[in-house]
Structure 1
Amino acid sequence: MKKINKLFLLALCGLTFGCNSQLDLEPQGAPTTGNFWKTESDAVAGVNSIYELYSDDDMYGRGFFWLNNASDDIGTKPRANAERIKNFQVDGNESDTRSIWGKHYQVMKRANDVIRNVPAISMTESIKNRILGEAYFNHAVMHLELAYRYGDDRAGIPIQDRSNPENIYVSRAKNVAENYAYIAEDLKKAADLLPYFSSYSAENYGRAHKTAALAYLVRTYLYAKDWANAEKYADMVISSGKHSLLTNYEDVFKTANNWSSEYIWSVTSSAKDTRVGCIFPGVCLEDKGWGLYNGWGNFYPTKELYDAFQTGDKRREVTILKTGDKFMFFGQERTFNVGAFTVSSSNRTGYQFRKYMEPYSYANPIGSTINPNGDKPSTSLNVPLLRYADVLLMKAEAKLMQGKNADTEINQIRTRAGLAAISGATITDLKRERRCEFGGEWTDRHFDLVRWGDAQTVYAQPLHHADGRVIYPARTFNPQVMNVWPIPPTEIQNSKGSLTQNQGW
């Protein structure tokens, strides 16, 4: 079977720019035939195949980020599907998002193949445990990402028949609570089986590890509103001693810190392999990159996000470029939205996300820190999916929801941001810190608002350009319908009646 080099999530982007070594991996898809699942090599190849789909643009390249566009933090290049998403007028068949459901279930299917077949293989016990832990972890992450976006208390999402891969027509879970319970059990198994990240050598960076499983347990329990368990597992991550905040917020978004103490789980990327990697930095870069690179200019920060930062918050300038700001681009200092670096007409807000710009700052970055293929604009920077700051703020939210004091966790975040410590922090303080800490990241402001019950009120307010003009008028958000997205109609058609659409869509 033809081999591919440097599978997306396992690309070896170490502590220097670029990638110093490669893995030769055989993506097996869903190998179930009798001539496979016999040896340790088969088991490794099987688990590696789980990661192959992560480089798909409909996964972490763009797919879910189009749904994140619904939030008040983001304005997009004007295009029909983006406008439909922004105004909650979708049917689930939009070309930008309709593959999300199927791609996630493909990854879950591959994980289940590993879980079902690897236990019977005679092999090194520590490697077997790691492989099974990886499978449980990746299945849980995929499951969670769909569960809270498509499931609610009226209907969850289908739980695949792990023991029978031929049984593909599975009805929806009774409610999303069933999904959260299933996900939590998978993550607990993963945490028991996986090693700590610190035990990995560089060629295994990007594989699932113990504190990643524990951190996703925190996120799972947060969405399940099981505050006590969210706090419990956050404490387990914290007390492990394996993670800490970097001193400088800006350093989080530098290639040299891809595997820093703040790393928990990221989209491992590549600037050298033109087939793989997370394209999100290029998707956020100014349209056409001022003639120097093929930026896509799809996502821009709103004035509402810019104004959410308090005076003196160091995170604002790290997160957002505004008119007149100096920045390094292709080895020279430039001035944003001035002269040759004026933004294009497709820039909806007059700002740009700055977080992912470090790989573009060097002289001659093409082929070293940014992808030579502008149609696959990945960079050497790993895009965070869950970092240590999130664990702290999820713990703070869980404590506040239980009536406990969360000053310690919130002030760790504020202190790094250059802000004064506060006393008696409230849920309002927590909401502001989440917004400012994770602006433009995967953490998903939209579903924070849904989880808090704030979406209807927030979306009833217009959104603005940097110059103060309205770019999106007030929007109508009906929580009874729009707290979840519509399931792609093609998936319903293919299910032979086992899938039903979310109510109201």
Structure 2
Amino acid sequence: MKKLMIIALAGAAMLSTSCSDFLDPQSEGNPTTTNYFKNDQQAIDAVDELYKPLVEEAMFGREIYWEQGGTCDIVWGRTRSYPTLATLKYTGDESPLRGTFNQFYGEMARANFIIKKLTDKEKGTTLSAIEKRSLGEAYFIRGFCHFWVAHRYGTDSQGVPFCRWEDWSDDYDYTMPPQQSSVQVNYDYIIQDMDKAISYLPNLEDYGNADKGRASKAAAVALKAKTYAYWATWDATKWNDVIKQVDLLENTYGRDLAPTFDEVFTSDQSKFWGKEYLFGIAGDGGANGGGSEFPGVVLENKAWGVYNGWGQNKPSEDIYEEMAKDGAGNDRLKRSILCYGDTFELNGVERRFFSTSDIQAGFMINKYMDPFKHANMTDTYVNANGDWPTCRIMFPLMRYAEMLLFRAEAYLMTGNAAAATADINKLRQRSHLAPLKGTATMADLYHERRCELAFEMTDHLGDLKRWAASSNAEIKALALKELNAHPRVRAYSDRSNPESDFKVIDYEDYRDKAAYDSHLMVFPYPSDVISKYGGKLKQNPNY
């Protein structure tokens, strides 16, 4: 079975066009512009180039996840040269921060070019169905990338750079995007882009099998819900908009939970685009090798001599204990984390988990292991090239479970704990967990969001930072407690023996974590960006 995101993203590191610094965007918008968008295939080709960078190492392949070292859910299996991402002593010039920043702005420049050209064309003629879809996809990708910059760099008193090329009567003059006065302005632009996307995009169900990885109306509605949830940090009225958007996903777009937690992370391609799917990266194995490298990044380094796993992110004792509150061995815990002595399959052979590689943690992420269990896995399910360890899995960027949790949070923040309880219990029932004993609290919300979405690109660090600024004292205290804590791991007396005893210790790397204060809610801009702006971009305060 072949589908767009498998085909379009295969070998993305080699196939995608290079992304220039967003401060020099002329190269993004200048190449033979008179020859673009003369037919449907040109529109398809232009938009496909928007999807390819999403999977690259500098985006959702790996780099953006290093930021999660600032939480207590993961530790790094291998020392990095940018410990400041984990110690909260940000400089802005850490290579993952600088790289993702430039990638997101490069993507927005590409999307701006497509939107400008297609909206100009639309003024003189009726766009074809493919061109309309392409325009919707460009609006979606521009808003999606804008969101990932806005919530990580913008505050109520200072937004992030952004402009819409279609607002210019002539071609955009390639000046630097102006910095917006508030992140609320940025969020409003993102909502406008999603409304435009919804007006042009098809429903997921209207796509043929070859195109189901493309953005859909439901994906745009989901991003609206997520944007409103972050916007609510500054404007509590937006919680009502979160509820409205998730209601739309449920009642208009037919989104729902997958029957089982396991199914969300299956290697069965026929289940990739079920009711829980909203937007993600469909990976493949074998000769195609497309997808995000993240499943191989979190696999045990060298995978006991079977495969070139990288061992770079590992669960902590803290997230294990949080999940175990629901009962040791519960479905969600077993599917998310491998502990010493747990049995699992790798390349068709049953093993018991232990870890002898790199910095000790005592755990491994299990969420993405289904493709690796198959005998002769590199023939079909896993990329034969271990230097790009992708596999056949749907790697979620947004899924309906996250939306339910946003709605539950919105209900709690608007005084409807009974409705929040119902949403949380849907998730707990799906994983065969006991329902909440009473009505939901913000502590329950913190627990469920942390456990359900662990090790996904949903930005747990972003959750903690917005919660630390919340008007709700309960969630604020929980967030600050984690932000000010140092993660713990298990140290085994004999790392090669699954039966060995262990001690819980502080993780041995990056121990000098800064005390969290409000300026750390956002990252500092890279120094070269500040320099190139020549005084027209204000650095975030206290950096």
What is the TM-score with the length of structure 1 in the denominator? 0.91
Per-residue deviation at 1:474? 7.5
SS in structure 2 at match of 1:50? helix
SS in structure 1 at match of 2:448? helix
- Asked if the contact 1:8–1:51 (Cα under 8 Å) also holds between the matched residues in 2, the reply is no
**Count of matched residue pairs:** 486
Per-residue CA deviation, residues 401-420 of structure 1 (Å, 9 max, x unaligned), is: 11112111111011112122
Q: Give the letter for the 2:514 counterpart.
A: T
Residues 276 and 311 (structure 1 numbering): CA distance in 2 closer, same or farther, change over 3 Å? closer
Q: How does 1:74-473 map to 2 (within 5 A)?
A: 74-119=74-119, 120=121, 125-162=128-165, 163=168, 164-225=171-232, 226-256=238-268, 257-272=271-286, 276-309=290-323, 310-312=325-327, 313-337=330-354, 343-405=355-417, 406-422=420-436, 423-453=438-468, 454=476, 455-466=479-490, 467-471=503-507, 473=511
Q: Are residue 488 (structure 1) and residue 526 (structure 2) matched?
A: yes
Q: Give the letter for the 2:251 counterpart.
A: S
SS in structure 2 at match of 1:465? strand
Per-residue deviation at 1:241? 4.8
Q: Any gaps of 5 or more consecutive residues in structure 1?
A: 1-5, 14-18, 20-24, 338-342
Q: Any gaps of 5 or more consecutive residues in structure 2?
A: 19-27, 233-237, 469-475, 491-502
Per-residue deviation at 1:49? 1.7
- Asked if the contact 1:137–1:208 (Cα under 8 Å) also holds between the matched residues in 2, the reply is yes
Higher mean alpha-carbon deviation, 398-407 vs 491-500, is at 491-500
Per-residue deviation at 1:171? 2.8
In 2, Cα distance between the equivalents of 1:129 and 1:351?
47
Match of 1:22? none
Taking only the aligned residue pairs, the percentage that are identical comes to 33
- Asked if the contact 2:104–2:146 (Cα under 8 Å) also holds between the matched residues in 1, the reply is yes
Per-residue deviation at 1:52? 2.3
Per-residue deviation at 1:128? 2.4
More helix by share: 2
SS in structure 1 at match of 2:81? helix
SS in structure 2 at match of 1:43? helix
Per-residue CA deviation, residues 472-491 of structure 1 (Å, 9 max, x unaligned), is: 65733333221111212222
Per-residue deviation at 1:273? 5.5
SS in structure 2 at match of 1:366? helix
Per-residue deviation at 1:349? 1.4
- Asked if the contact 2:483–2:516 (Cα under 8 Å) also holds between the matched residues in 1, the reply is no
Match of 1:48? 48
Per-residue deviation at 1:34? 1.6
SS in structure 2 at match of 1:92? coil
In 2, Cα distance between the equivalents of 1:82 and 1:316?
30
- Asked if the contact 1:211–1:264 (Cα under 8 Å) also holds between the matched residues in 2, the reply is yes
Per-residue deviation at 1:154? 2.4
Per-residue CA deviation, residues 232-251 of structure 1 (Å, 9 max, x unaligned), is: 11100011252221222112
SS in structure 2 at match of 1:81? coil
Residues 58 and 357 (structure 1 numbering): CA distance in 2 closer, same or farther, change over 3 Å? same
In 1, Cα distance between the equivalents of 2:384 and 2:530?
39
- Asked if the contact 2:61–2:292 (Cα under 8 Å) also holds between the matched residues in 1, the reply is yes
- Asked if the contact 2:228–2:239 (Cα under 8 Å) also holds between the matched residues in 1, the reply is yes
- Asked if the contact 2:16–2:52 (Cα under 8 Å) also holds between the matched residues in 1, the reply is no
SS in structure 2 at match of 1:112? helix
SS in structure 2 at match of 1:255? coil
- Asked if the contact 2:87–2:512 (Cα under 8 Å) also holds between the matched residues in 1, the reply is no
SS in structure 1 at match of 2:344? strand
SS in structure 2 at match of 1:69? helix
